[in-house]
């Protein structure tokens, strides 16, 4: 049998795919990624995820697999679980979820029955689609009771949440959001959950890096369940993680498999283990402090340049600034900034569905590349020039050139 195909590198085996990957690599380092949920994984994480572990099937609970030959991958998964538990101070961890969405799905499957009531942030107020959106499984299979932000402060209104919880008696309350730049008081959510006998799920997909570095209140002591992604601020592979009290271990294990998923992605589990080790380091803690400082500088500079900030500012790694008065709406803003080499999220504003909306930016990826306050002010100025130019080609060309020059100084290569 001719086995040349087996050892042929991608650049020879599939030039089309290899070329597209190279184009994406170039895009990531020749532009400025400011999407708050994006980051750069380390070489070690990428090597683990791209390893020979891809070949191994490991279906079923750790130590009780449906397939033989799992001795080594069981040790890898155990290592990932122990590192996750230590990092977040959790009694139990499950490292198998394929994504943050499936982590939430698994928790619902473990703790709830169909049509049970769940109380989560309305997606229009920057809650996540898995917190009760009617087009998601969370809204289709469970009875969604969305709560809203305060129209006055654009921040969490605990009194309103408590009133709604007392009136509707949800089985589960969800704390955590996809686009909320302020810190979250998990202890207050625990009080509300206890007052109505509800489970508390804390979705920390955006906050997990801050929590791991000790820069945000840890929900684990308060929550029945905590879920997160492992990319974003943790800089791991794309995947999910569940943390919970030990008493929920059996229910979660059954919900993972056969409930929601099949075999674990052992290459991703290994990469998660690497990321958890990196996140436990003093270097990571220092990095997160720089992330927060850079976000604060971005917010300050954007305000100085005339933009108003959603929720009055930021306590985290993300900044949401409003577009009112800029002459462009959120879709145009996202498109114009991408043309200039800056990738962001444009979105509508809560309570203003017909208004120009807002733009969400984050500091994690640029901080990973080594940028600091000086560069944050420079980038904020670029953003303002693009949006205030109404898309003038000359301005876009000039900013794109400046973006390329700045990106070239911080390329991680």
Dump pLDDT digits (tens) for 68-77.
999 999 999 9
126 is catalytic: no
227 is catalytic: no
Q: Where does 285-409 sit in CATH, by number? A: 3.90.1150.10
57 is catalytic: yes
54 is catalytic: no
Which of 38, 59, 116, 338 is the catalytic position? 59
113 is catalytic: no
Least confident of 3-7, 263-267, 285-289, 317-321: 3-7
Indicate if the alpha-carbon torsion angle 49, 53, 57, 59 is positive or negative: negative
| Helix, coil or strand: residue 300 | helix
Which of 85, 188, 238, 339 is the catalytic position? 238
**Domain coordinates of the chain in residue numbers?**
47-279, 285-409
401 is catalytic: no
Domains 47-279 and 285-409 share a fold: no
pLDDT tens readout for residues 124-155: 999 999 999 999 999 999 999 999 999 999 99
Q: Which residues contact 196 (CB under 8 A, 6 or more apart)?
A: 165, 166, 169, 170, 173
pLDDT tens readout for residues 244-300: 999 999 999 999 999 999 999 999 999 999 999 999 999 999 999 999 999 999 999
In Å, what is the CA distance from 30 to each residue of 338, 344, 396? 12, 15, 15
Which of 56, 171, 232, 369 is the catalytic position? 232
Tell me which fold the domain 47-279 belongs to.
3.40.640
């Amino acid at each position: 049998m001719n086995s040349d195909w087996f050892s042929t590198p991608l650049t020879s085996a599939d030039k089309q795919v290899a070329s597209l990957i190279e184009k994406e690599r170039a895009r990531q380092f020749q532009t400025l990624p400011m999407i708050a949920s994006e980051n750069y994984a380390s070489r070690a994480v990428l090597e683990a995820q791209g390893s020979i572990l891809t070949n191994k099937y490991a279906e079923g609970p750790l130590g009780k697999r449906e397939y033989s030959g799992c001795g080594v991958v069981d040790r890898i998964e155990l290592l990932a679980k122990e590192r996750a538990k230590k990092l977040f101070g959790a009694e139990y961890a499950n490292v198998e979820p394929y994504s943050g969405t499936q982590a939430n799905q698994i928790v619902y499957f473990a703790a709830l029955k169909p049509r049970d009531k769940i109380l989560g942030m309305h997606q229009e107020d920057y809650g996540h689609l898995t917190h009760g959106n009617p087009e998601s499984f969370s809204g289709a299979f469970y009875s969604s009771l969305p709560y809203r932000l305060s129209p006055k402060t654009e921040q969490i209104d605990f009194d309103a949440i408590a009133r709604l919880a007392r009136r509707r008696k949800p089985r589960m309350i969800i704390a955590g959001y996809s686009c909320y730049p302020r810190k979250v008081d998990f202890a207050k959510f625990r009080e509300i959950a206890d007052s109505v006998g509800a489970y508390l799920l804390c979705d920390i997909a955006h906050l997990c890096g801050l929590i791991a570095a000790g820069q945000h209140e840890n929900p684990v002591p308060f929550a029945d369940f905590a879920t997160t992604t492992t990319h974003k601020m943790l800089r791991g592979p794309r995947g999910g993680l569940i943390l919970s009290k030990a008493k929920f271990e059996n229910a979660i294990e059954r919900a993972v498999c056969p409930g929601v998923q099949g075999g674990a992605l052992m290459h991703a589990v290994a990469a998660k283990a690497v990321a958890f080790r990196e996140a436990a380091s003093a270097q990571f803690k220092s990095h997160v402090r720089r992330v927060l400082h850079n976000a604060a500088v971005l917010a300050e500079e954007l305000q100085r340049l005339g933009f108003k900030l959603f929720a009055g500012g930021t306590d985290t790694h993300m900044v949401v600034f409003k577009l009112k008065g800029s002459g462009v709406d959120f879709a145009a803003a996202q498109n114009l900034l991408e043309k200039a080499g800056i990738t962001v999220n444009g979105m509508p504003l809560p309570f203003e569905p017909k208004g120009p909306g807002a733009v969400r930016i984050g500091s994690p990826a640029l901080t990973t590349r080594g940028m600091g306050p000086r560069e944050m002010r420079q980038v904020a100025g670029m953003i303002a020039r693009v949006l205030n130019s109404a898309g003038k080609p000359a301005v876009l060309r000039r900013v794109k050139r400046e973006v390329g020059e700045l990106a070239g100084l911080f390329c991680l290569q």
